[in-house]
Amino acid sequence: MTTNTDPTTASTTSTGTGAGDGAPGVQELVETLYRDGIVARKGAFTPEWADRMREDVEAAFEEARSRPDGAVGRGPNRYYVEIHPEQLRGFVDLVDHPWVRELCTAVLGEDYEIVELGFDIPFAGAVNQPWHRDFPAPRETREERRLTSLAFNLTAVDTEEDMGPFEVAPGTQFDDGTGFDHGMFPPKSLYPRFEERAVRKYPRRGDISARSALTIHRGTKNFSDKPRPVLVLGVDAPGAGNAEHHDMAVTKGYWNSLPERVKAHLKCPVVDELTPITQKHTIEGLVMGEA
């Protein structure tokens, strides 16, 4: 197993994709994403911005845990919660960040759609997840080697080795998943290949990554007594179909406050009053973990 930070990112804060400040331009980012299945940008936001994000995540988690099916298990002591955009004060900052906009446009097309906002929290005692994809590979990826969705991740803490870092097997986004359980969970006979490729990620507050949800990955065991909250933003190409699995909405007042450039990519319902999101289902393989 290799342990490192993502070498494709720059160490300086920037408002754009990085061209001109020593970081990769959008074409290089796309090439890296198609090669490795993941790409990242250090210092996209300030640590203080990430601290506010953590406050919102923790508030949303407490609310979700107070009602049935508000949070769903993703393994022992690991939870996922989907939220509405206005529960995150920095939502517009995130979706309108040039790095996010330009990468979405380059990979998914000008009419990309924001379909998911949520967070994952592995607490003390979380175990290694099985290697997995987030959903089965669509036809476009299997037959045309074209990515039709992106998952952006933002850590709410400075990740340390004992906190159960995210682990990814670069280059596996185009693996044939026809033999995977539910199209998502590869057989354990393939684990040696993933472990040989495995790279652990140690993002810090303010960093952002983008990956194909098809790149084989897992959360690892949290040996510490600290949670490791991670925000998730899901974005689709037109017709990818993932929106039907999510229930986010916005109120009319919030919708009216959004920039037109954000509205163009937010196709969720506009409602008078938000309804707390009930998580749809528990993925058995992730709940079981590898304990």
Instruction: Give 49: exposed, middle or buried? Use CB within 10 Å, 0-12, 13-18, 19+.
Output: middle
**Superfamily (CATH) of domain 28-288:** q2cbj1_9rhob like domain (2.60.120.620)
Cα distances (Å, whole numbers) of residue 160 to 139, 165, 237: 37, 7, 34
**Is this model's pTM higher than 0.95 or not?**
no
Q: What is the pLDDT at residue 23? A: 72
Q: What is the pLDDT at residue 289? A: 64
- pLDDT tens digits, residue range 215-244? 999 999 999 999 999 999 999 999 988 877
Q: Quote the CA–CA distance of 197 and 171 in Å, as a whole number.
A: 9
Q: What is the pLDDT at residue 22? A: 63
Q: Tens digit of pLDDT per residue, the chain (291 long)? A: 433 333 233 222 344 555 445 678 999 999 999 999 999 999 999 999 999 999 999 999 999 999 988 998 888 999 999 999 999 999 999 999 999 999 999 999 999 999 999 999 999 999 999 999 999 999 999 999 999 999 999 999 999 999 999 999 999 999 999 999 999 999 999 999 999 999 999 999 999 999 999 999 999 999 999 999 999 999 999 998 887 788 999 999 999 999 999 999 999 999 999 999 987 766 666 666 654
- Closest Cα to residue 129, out of 160, 156, 166? 166
Q: What is the pLDDT at residue 241? A: 81
Q: What is the pLDDT at residue 69? A: 87
- Closest Cα to residue 269, out of 257, 253, 251, 256? 251
Q: What is the pLDDT at residue 177? A: 92
Structure tokens at 9: 């990112």
Residues in a beta bridge with 245: none
Residues in a beta bridge with 80: 72, 120
